[in-house]
């Protein structure tokens, strides 16, 4: 797993995990996708979300991606993974175009198998940095 990320992005990700209603962990997924490769970047987001769902005790087939295009509280590159049955939170992400390529900042419940999630995302071919929410 890569440690080659900028400190600002790491600190901003840590801030997203600050204590709230549930304990969260996160991952920063580094892609080489530029602004013209939004379809590939969205597929990477979906693939990472499926990995998170599986390591959170959900069947990825029982989850969907909510992009918030009907919600003014969502930005254009913010997405949530929710369960089909009761719309329970599985993961949330922001897709950030930084220095010419996308980074996907994704966070999920702390009860999910953090190390397995990071390893499986890395197996997809991405550099990934884990961020623990304590």
- Using CA atoms, how far residue 68 sits from 30, 34, 61, 100, 114, in Å, is 23, 23, 20, 25, 26
Task: For residue 75, count CB atoms less than 10 angstroms from its CB and return exposed for 0-12, middle for 13-18, buried for 19 or more.
Answer: exposed
C-alpha–C-alpha distance, residues 118 and 126, integer Å: 10
> What are the tens digits of pLDDT across the range 39-86?
999 999 999 999 999 999 999 999 999 886 666 665 567 889 999 999
Q: Which residues pair with 89 in a beta bridge?
A: 82
> How many distinct structural domains can be found in the chain?
1
| 109, two tokens | 């419940």
- Residue 57's pLDDT is 96
Confidence of residue 1 (pLDDT cuts 50, 70, 90): very low
- How far is residue 97's CA from residue 34's CA, in Å, rounded to a whole number? 7
pLDDT score at 97: 85
The boundaries of the domain holding residue 70 are: 37-129
Res 76: pLDDT:
65
User: Could you report the per-residue pLDDT of 30-44, keeping only the tens digit for each?
Assistant: 999 998 998 999 999
- Residue 94, domain member (yes or no): yes
Considering the domain boundaries, does residue 29 fall inside one?
no
The model carries a pTM of 0.85
Query: Which of the residue ranges 4-13, 20-29, 84-93 would you say has the lowest mean pLDDT?
Result: 4-13
Is 9 domain-assigned? no
The answer to whether 116 and 1 have CB atoms below 8 angstroms apart is no
């Amino acid at each position: 797993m890569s440690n080659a990320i900028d400190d600002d992005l790491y600190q901003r990700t840590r801030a997203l995990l600050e204590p709230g209603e549930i304990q969260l962990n996160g991952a920063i997924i580094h892609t080489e996708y530029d602004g013209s490769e939004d379809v590939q970047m969205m597929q990477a987001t979906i693939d990472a979300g499926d990995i998170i769902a599986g390591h959170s005790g959900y069947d990825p087939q029982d989850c969907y991606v909510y992009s918030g295009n009907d919600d003014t509280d969502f930005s254009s590159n913010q997405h949530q993974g929710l369960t089909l049955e009761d719309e329970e939170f599985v993961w949330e992400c922001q897709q950030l175009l930084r220095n010419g390529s996308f980074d996907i900042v994704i966070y999920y419940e702390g009860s999910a198998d953090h190390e397995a999630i990071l390893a499986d995302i890395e197996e997809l071919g991405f550099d990934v940095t884990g961020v623990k929410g304590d």
